Structure 1
């Protein structure tokens, strides 16, 4: 089993609300799984492929790494 991060793409950023929207993709067994994520203040919200969301208070964590962990957990649970 191999999971490879293949892309992080910035979608938009709004500094007024301190919100950033980005997208991350992971390839697993030949299938690319993609999730968008946003950050408001210090809370990361990951929008998973099935439409569900997962939130994490960052407290110093790197947003991309935390989002990738949520997407990996989703992949492991759903494949």
Structure 2
């Protein structure tokens, strides 16, 4: 019949350097993916504010007498969007 296996022989994989390398590489890739996602989210949040400032400047340069009404509507739209 079958003889019982020693614990070392019964393991499914070896321990040591190859496992450590796979663990280290996967951790580095996970950190890179997290940094890319963090940067993408941060860019989306800040671009809304920088675009708004450009829009206000454009409105004021086109029609200064109507700028206050347009800026007020733009600010109301921004508040609705952020809420």
TM-score (norm 1): 0.28
Higher relative contact order (CA 8 A, sep 6+): 1
| Greater fraction of residues in helix | 2
| Greater fraction of residues in strand | 1
Largest Rg, 1 or 2:
2
TM-score (norm 2): 0.27
